[in-house]
Amino acid sequence: RAAGRKGTVEPLEYYRRFLKENCRPDGRELGEFRTTTVNIGSISTADGSALVKLGNTTVICGVKAEFAVPPTDAPDKGYVVPNVDLPPLCSSRFRSGPPGEEAQVASQFIADVIENSQIIQKEDLCISSGKLAWVLYCDLICLDYDGNILDACTFALLAALKNVQLPEVRINEETALAEVNLKKKSYLNIRTHPVATSFAVFDDTLLIVDPTGEEEHLATGTLTVVMDEEGRLSCLHKPGGSGLTGAKLQDCMSRAVTRHKEVKKLMDEVIKSMTPK
């Protein structure tokens, strides 16, 4: 009883009591992730979609493919345009209106992950060099904000892209128009599988994995590592906060490697269960 009251009056002290015993108020270990569930292909109007739940944090990603003229300085490349939306629905701290700072930072982070890890070769999205290319609009909407939004968004994006099916397009030489064959669809060529692992730093020394909304608020710093299956890092995002030594970073890397295996296994299982027998 006393612990419950202290949780609202002195949240930091309340947390410290648990951290001393190497666990957290929701019963997890310091290196344990919340239950991750993924649902692929739920939106029928989108070309690809995925819903990811990381404990209470829920993010849905929908991918729509449209035609566009390729950029003049790269005539054989298409576009991948991500956008992260944090609507007032997911948390009381977001108001309606233009995207706030948190949403803009998350959008920039996802754009960087796509660019750095080369999930998709942009040349694969080109239909006719200099004339027509695919543009994939990836919209990520958070339905419930309980911390660790970056991990959920990265996972949702990857799962949705794996679900995208693009119809075959031919350019008719006589009319110079594009002919879309909706009956013949093919999956995208996903080259790497980047998985994000987020940590929160407490009291300058303790690192906990997958922070909830409360833990993020009390933490003195956060760190996100994006790793692909070959152990290459595409992003080490540490926006300020308390300092870390090289040794602590090493621990984070090893945890990120194990997390990658967990996530890949989960995604492969879901995709396998979806393919028609």
Partner 1 sequence: MRSEYLTYTQARPAGRKSGLHVGCGAMEGAMRSDDKVCTETGIESSSRGPGCSLRHFACEQNLLSRPDGSAAFLQGDTSVLAGVYGPAEVKVSKEIFNKATLEVILRPKIGLPGVAEKSRERLIRNTCQAVVLGALHPRTSITVVLQVVSDAGSLLACCLNAACMALVDAGVPMRALFCGVTCALDSDGTLVLDPTAKQEKEARAVLTFALDSVDRKLLMSTTKGLYSDAELQQCLAAAQTASQHVFRFYRESLQRRYSKS
- Interaction site with partner 1 (CB under 8 A): 101, 104-105, 107-109, 112, 115-118, 220-221, 228, 231-246, 249-250, 253
Find the shortest distance in angstroms from Cβ 127 to partner 1. 27
230 vs 257: CA distance, rounded Å: 9
Find the shortest distance in angstroms from Cβ 255 to partner 1. 12
Residue with smaller CB distance to partner 1, 88 or 243:
243
Give every CB contact of residue 166 below 8 A, 6+ residues apart in sequence: 47, 65, 134, 185, 186, 188
Cα torsion 130, 178, 165, 113 to 10°: value is: 20
Confirm if 189 and 124 have CB atoms less than 8 A apart.
Answer: yes
Structure tokens at 168: 């075959």
Residue with smaller CB distance to partner 1, 181 or 242:
242
Residue with smaller CB distance to partner 1, 51 or 119:
119
Residue with smaller CB distance to partner 1, 169 or 253:
253
Find the shortest distance in angstroms from Cβ 1 to partner 1. 28
Find the shortest distance in angstroms from Cβ 188 to partner 1. 20
Residue with smaller CB distance to partner 1, 108 or 189:
108
Find the shortest distance in angstroms from Cβ 42 to partner 1. 28
Find the shortest distance in angstroms from Cβ 91 to partner 1. 17
The secondary structure of 74-97 as a DSSP string is -TT--EEEEEEE--TTT-TT--SS
Closest CA to 195 of 38, 29, 23: 38
Residue with smaller CB distance to partner 1, 21 or 230:
230
88 vs 182: CA distance, rounded Å: 37
158 vs 120: CA distance, rounded Å: 10
193 vs 123: CA distance, rounded Å: 18
What backbone phi and psi angles, to 5 degrees, belong to 37? Answer: -125, 145
Find the shortest distance in angstroms from Cβ 104 to partner 1. 4
Q: Quick one: DSSP state of residue 70?
A: P
Residue with smaller CB distance to partner 1, 48 or 194:
194
Closest CA to 226 of 253, 261, 205, 189: 253
